[in-house]
Amino acid sequence: MDVGPLKFYKYVNEQLLADDKDTLAKLMPFIRRATYQINHNSTNEDTILYRGMNLNEQQQDFFRIGKFFRFPGFTATTAKKHIARSFGKTLFEIHVSAPCHQVINMANISYFREEEEWLFSPYSRFRVKDKTKELIILQSTDDSSDTDEQSCANDADKNESTDSEDHNSDDDEEYHSHNNEEHKSSGDENISNDSRCDEEDLSDNTDNRSSDNSSDHNSNNDEQNSSYDSDEKSSNDE
């Protein structure tokens, strides 16, 4: 396998999404080490990060206000809005409240330092705060914190069609697309029990970014997560 920073990053993400037991077993030392670094180098300042993607109407519908969800793979973001916009027409604005143990500032070690990259560990948890056709506002929420649970009801008032299960962390959904043959992850316990953070992946444009660090995820609550129905899976994000 031809391994470079981008190819290896893409390969690891693909395996997390494919959830192949044998392959993940070989990648576990790397994933656990990377996740440990993320968990123990958490940000101590509130920050806003951005991620650009191209979403079709069906994909847009997945992000209902009040919904809790997870990105299965490593999720690269940037502190620069204009950089994120270059990756897609839909902009994700991700609010991170300190301390947050599921994201790390990669600006000084990223392959693309000019992007001011921040990396979320696999199965990081988010809540949809607000949305328009071109902007989706997310709140990064550690599983160890219930702050977002308390404010969720207020956000839900903005969308009467939001299902009550979207407010329950036990019913977190995973976002998937057909890009890179992504599919639901039914064996999250194989990824790691050491990480504090669960995660869910929007991995379409993530593959265009690099991370020398990767992350692992906390499977303590993954058995409770509901899988995103295959009928709702999206077409190529790219």
**What's the mean per-residue pLDDT of the chain?**
70
Residue that wins the pLDDT comparison between 198 and 35: 35
∠192-113-216 over CA atoms, to 5°?
0
Residue 202, classed as helix, strand or coil, is coil
C-alpha span between 29 and 212 (Å, rounded): 15
Least confident piece of the model among 16-20, 134-138, 156-160: 156-160
Res 198: pLDDT: 34
Least confident piece of the model among 25-39, 51-65, 74-88: 25-39
∠182-183-189 over CA atoms, to 5°?
110
Record the pTM: 0.62
126-130, 191-195, 212-216: which is most confident:
126-130
Res 3: pLDDT: 52
Q: What whole-number percentage of the chain has pLDDT above 70? A: 57
46, pLDDT greater than 60: yes
C-alpha span between 57 and 61 (Å, rounded): 6
Task: Give residue limits of the domains in the chain.
Answer: 5-232
- Contacts of the segment 4-8: beta carbons below 8 A, 24+ positions apart: 5/111, 5/210, 5/211, 5/212, 6/111, 6/207, 6/208, 6/209, 6/210
Class of domain 5-232: alpha beta
Q: What is the mean pLDDT of residues 107-129?
A: 89
Res 177: pLDDT: 53
154, pLDDT greater than 60: no
